């Protein structure tokens, strides 16, 4: 009986709220907020429409002529739906989810779809739960895709192994949208049951399944899509994108810190193709968020490149909301959330105000303060104890036999095969690179060489190495490599630039070794100082010293990568 009464009370409360929404929409009651004399993007008619925009109970209830308890005259401005990032790893901002939300709100982002596979590769299911709790109630809606590749491939060593059983119960959570990027496309193509069962389980819950298949084509691509993968964010040229779009995949156009695909994919933002396109950032470092922006940066650049502004806005909002079945986001219309942005004009695209559920969260200068969500103390303790690595010496990095050479590609996260090397040659830009297993104290150390990094002296080490987040280090000598790795462990995670045994720059990342507890601005200052230290030691300014390095351990992006067991050919999934 108590359950029925509770349910009845819930229905009555919702009914009362619904009655008020209808009364305000019908004009019988004043709205909570009215944007007077608005010109807004109508995503349904592909045009600019005019009228007052009324908000009640966090929802847009009508456009036309309204009065409200609060009225704001937006004459001469443009009102856009709140932006949606279709695919992002919050951990890549190197700060807590609260700090991430504070950073993106001024840029008009009101919803993000995150894949927590970075922290899940460190903490397993506890990492997913940590992020769910750390994002609960934030003024940026954080929706989740469950990690599909923990580890990314069976050849990698992460802090956990999550099969479909380990994540299945999470599908019942109201903020879980589906299965995140299926990076092991080789496993899909070869009908690996361990990969396919995750897809089958997601489909059993009627959830979306995102893809990650750079360069996949022909029957391999057919097999990948036929298995049930609905999207891709790894398209680096328009031919690759159209091959996938023509087979029914949605294309997430990515513009992040390490990967920049917008320019190559601009031809998709035309009436012929744009319906199946949306924007994402994937990975964003603090400086990018602070200096360039978030999804607004992509919109602004697209418009300046000649893209129809309404197409750009729809790709930044409505399309992602529709794809993920978030049916009350991505538009300014009755029944949609009061998530909207006020800008000056399309040419300058200055964001003047941002509202979340009808509440002003950014006034053009400051973000309205909000509390950090509470996290289970046991999860907090677990997140601060993720390094199990013995002290290393120069001898641990000694290796005389030939090893594969990974070639860096400027502005991309793909690599090239540069043959073999058996020793460091700084003059030829042949440096030693190593990945150290840090989760279970196995003392596994994979060694190879890298070309294109540019370092002339010292070493650079980081505990951010996608996706298993072992420690990755590149150096001009073995002693500095060992010292840099040991310093990362001492910090409980972080980024270290070291020369001659002396630390030149560092950023502490004490949350699972991948996020800092410090404010974004402080983290950015330390990160930029560390970057300058790396550049001063010779690192090429054509790359991000840390983010580019972090992708060299991800064994699902062509051509060569490095794991804790050595250099791997991604295409064949074999060690070389």
Question: Tens-digit pLDDT profile for the chain (576 aa)?
Answer: 344 557 777 888 899 999 999 999 999 999 999 999 999 999 999 999 999 999 999 999 999 999 999 999 999 999 999 999 999 999 999 999 999 999 999 999 999 999 999 999 999 999 999 999 999 999 999 999 999 989 988 888 999 999 999 999 999 999 999 999 998 898 999 999 999 999 999 999 999 999 999 889 999 999 999 999 999 999 999 999 999 999 999 999 999 987 889 999 999 999 999 999 999 999 998 999 999 999 999 999 999 999 999 999 999 999 999 999 999 999 999 999 999 999 999 999 999 999 999 999 999 999 999 999 999 999 999 999 999 999 999 999 998 899 999 999 876 778 999 999 999 999 999 999 999 999 999 999 999 999 999 999 999 999 999 989 999 999 999 999 999 999 999 999 999 999 999 999 999 999 999 999 999 999 999 999 999 999 999 999 988 899 889 999 988 888 999 999 999 999 888 999
CA angle 563-122-486, nearest 5°? Answer: 65
3-state helix, strand, coil in the chain (%, to 5): 35, 30, 40
Task: Give residue for tokens 């690179």.
Answer: 433
In a domain, 8, yes or no: no
- Of 322, 323, 325, 359, the C-alpha closest to 340 is 359
Q: Is 82 helix (H, G, I), strand (E, B) or coil?
A: coil
Please check whether residues 113 and 188 belong to one and the same domain.
yes
Q: How far is CA 495 from CA 103, 390, 451, 550, in A?
A: 21, 18, 21, 10
Contact call for residues 127 and 120 (beta carbons, < 8 A):
yes
- ∠ at Cα 101 (99, 106), nearest 5°? 110
Strand-by-strand arrangement of the 459-462 sheet: 415-421, 403-408, 445-451, 430-436, 471-475, 459-462, 494-499, 502-508
E-strand ranges in 229-388 read 231-232, 250-254, 277-280, 340-343, 351-356, 359-362
* DSSP secondary structure code for residue 170 in this structure: G
How far is the first Cα of the chain from the last one, in angstroms, to the nearest whole number? Answer: 67
Q: How far apart are CA 79 and CA 270, in angstroms?
A: 22
Q: What is the pLDDT of residue 556?
A: 82
Opening angle at CA 284, ends 97 and 546, nearest 5? 110
- Of residues 313, 238, 311, 223, the one with CA closest to residue 275: 311
A 10 A CB-CB count for 403 gives 21
In angstroms and rounded to an integer, the radius of gyration of the C-alpha atoms of the chain is 24
Q: Which of 59, 25, 52, 69 is nearest to 357 (CA)?
A: 59
Inside any domain, residue 442: yes
The reported pTM is 0.93
Of the candidates 223, 232, 230, the one whose C-alpha atom is nearest the C-alpha of residue 206 is 230
Q: Looking at the domain assignment, is residue 439 inside a domain?
A: yes
Report the pLDDT value the prediction gives residue 2, as an integer from 0 to 100.
43
- Same domain, residue pair 474 and 567: yes
In a domain, 21, yes or no: no
| Domain final position from 289, 315, 331 | 331
Q: Are 79 and 51 in contact (CB under 8 A)?
A: no
Within-domain flag for 155: yes
Which residues form the domain of 408?
384-575
Q: CA nearest 84: which of 339, 359, 367, 363?
A: 339
Same domain as 322, residue 247? yes
SS3 12: helix
**522 and 450 in one domain?**
yes
One domain, residues 440 and 534? yes
Cα distances (Å, whole numbers) of residue 100 to 43, 133, 521, 573: 27, 15, 11, 35
Contact 386, 512 (CB under 8 A): yes
**Could you check whether the bond before residue 151 is cis, i.e. omega within 30 degrees of 0?**
yes
In a domain, 338, yes or no: no
Distance CA(334)–CA(44), nearest Å, equals 12
Question: Could you give the 3-state DSSP secondary structure of residue 313?
Answer: helix
DSSP bridge partners of 48: 41
- Of 315, 331, 347, the residue that ends a domain is 331
Do residues 263 and 114 share a domain? yes
Q: Are residues 306 and 400 in the same domain?
A: no
Contact 72, 99 (CB under 8 A): no
522 and 434 within one domain: yes
The per-residue DSSP string of 511-573 comes to BTTTBBSS-HHHHHHHHHHHHHHHHHTT--TTS-TTHHHHGGG-TTSSSEEEETTEEEETTTT
Where a domain ends, among 292, 311, 331?
A: 331
Mapped onto helix, strand or coil, the DSSP state of residue 460 is strand
- Whether residues 311 and 199 share a domain: the answer is yes
- Which residues, in sequence order, are CB contacts of 344 under 8 Å at separation 6+? 77, 78, 350, 352
Please give the structure tokens belonging to residue 7. 């349910």
Q: In what order do the strands lie in the sheet with 277-280?
A: 231-232, 250-254, 277-280
Coil, strand or helix at 22: helix
Q: How far is it, in rounded angstroms, from Cα 348 to Cα 390?
A: 54
pLDDT at 1: 38
**Is residue 319 in some structural domain?**
yes
Are 324 and 458 found together in one domain?
no
In-domain check, residue 372: no
- Indicate the number of domains in the chain: 2
Q: pLDDT value at position 258?
A: 76
Same domain, 291 and 392: no
Residues 227 and 291 occupy one common structural domain? yes
Q: What is the pLDDT of residue 5?
A: 54
Kindly tell me the burial class for residue 48, based on how many C-beta atoms sit within 10 Å of its own C-beta (0-12, 13-18, 19 or more): middle
Residue 172 φ/ψ, nearest 5 degrees: -80, -15
Length of the chain: 576
CATH number at residue 235: 3.20.20.140
Q: Give the 3-state secondary structure of residue 289.
A: helix
């Amino acid at each position: 009986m108590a359950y029925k009464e509770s349910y009845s009370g819930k229905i009555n409360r919702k009914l009362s709220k619904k009655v008020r929404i209808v009364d305000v929409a019908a004009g019988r009651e004043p709205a909570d907020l009215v944007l007077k004399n608005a010109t807004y993007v109508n995503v349904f008619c592909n045009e600019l429409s005019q009228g007052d925009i009324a908000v009640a109970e966090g929802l847009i209830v009508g456009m036309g002529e309204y009065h409200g308890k609060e009225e704001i005259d937006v004459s001469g401005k443009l009102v856009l739906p709140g932006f949606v990032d279709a695919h992002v790893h919050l951990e890549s901002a190197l700060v807590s989810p609260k700090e991430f939300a504070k950073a993106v709100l001024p840029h008009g982002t009101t919803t993000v779809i995150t894949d927590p596979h970075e922290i899940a590769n460190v903490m397993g299911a506890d990492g997913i739960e940590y992020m769910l709790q750390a994002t609960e109630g934030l003024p940026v809606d954080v929706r989740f895709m469950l990690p599909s590749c923990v580890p990314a491939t069976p050849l990698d060593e992460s802090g956990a192994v999550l099969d479909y059983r380990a994540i299945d119960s999470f599908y019942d959570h109201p903020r879980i949208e589906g299965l995140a990027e299926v990076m092991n496309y080789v496993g899909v193509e070869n009908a690996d049951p361990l990969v396919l069962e995750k897809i089958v389980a997601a489909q059993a819950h009627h959830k979306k399944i995102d893809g990650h298949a750079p360069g996949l084509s022909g029957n391999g691509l057919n097999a990948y899509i036929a298995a049930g993968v609905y999207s891709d964010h790894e398209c680096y040229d328009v031919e690759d994108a159209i091959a996938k779009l023509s087979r029914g995949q949605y294309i997430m156009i990515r513009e992040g810190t390490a990967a920049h695909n917008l320019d190559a994919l601009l031809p998709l933002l035309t009436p012929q193709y744009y319906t199946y396109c949306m924007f994402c950032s994937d990975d964003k470092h603090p400086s990018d968020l602070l200096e360039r922006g978030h999804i607004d940066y992509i919109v602004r650049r697209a418009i300046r490149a000649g893209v129809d502004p309404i197409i750009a806005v729809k790709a930044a909002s409505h399309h992602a909301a529709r794809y993920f079945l978030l049916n009350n986001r991505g538009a300014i219309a009755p029944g949609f959330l009061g998530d909207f942005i006020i800008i000056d004009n399309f040419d300058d695209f200055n964001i003047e105000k941002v509202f979340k559920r009808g509440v002003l969260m950014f006034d053009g200068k400051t973000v309205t303060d909000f509390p950090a969500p509470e996290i289970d103390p046991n999860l907090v303790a677990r997140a601060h104890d993720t390094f199990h690595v013995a002290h290393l010496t120069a001898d641990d990095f000694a290796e005389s036999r030939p090893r594969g050479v990974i070639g860096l590609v400027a502005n991309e996260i793909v690599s090239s095969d540069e043959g073999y090397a058996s020793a460091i040659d700084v003059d030829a830009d042949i440096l030693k690179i190593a990945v150290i297993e840090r989760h279970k104290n196995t003392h596994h150390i994979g060694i190879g060489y890298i070309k294109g990094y540019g370092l002339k002296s010292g070493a650079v080490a980081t505990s951010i190495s996608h996706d298993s987040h072992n420690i990755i280090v590149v150096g001009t000598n073995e002693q500095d490599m060992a010292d840099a790795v040991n310093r990362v462990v001492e910090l409980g995670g972080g980024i270290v630039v070291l020369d001659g045994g002396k630390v030149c720059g560092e950023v502490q990342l004490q949350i699972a070794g991948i996020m800092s507890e410090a404010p974004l601005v402080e983290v950015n200052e330390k990160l930029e100082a560390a970057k300058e230290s790396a550049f001063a030691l010779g690192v090429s300014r054509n790359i991000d010293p840390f983010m580019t390095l972090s992708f060299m351990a991800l064994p699902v992006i062509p051509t060569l990568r490095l794991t804790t067991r050595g250099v791997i050919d991604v295409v064949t999934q074999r060690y070389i």
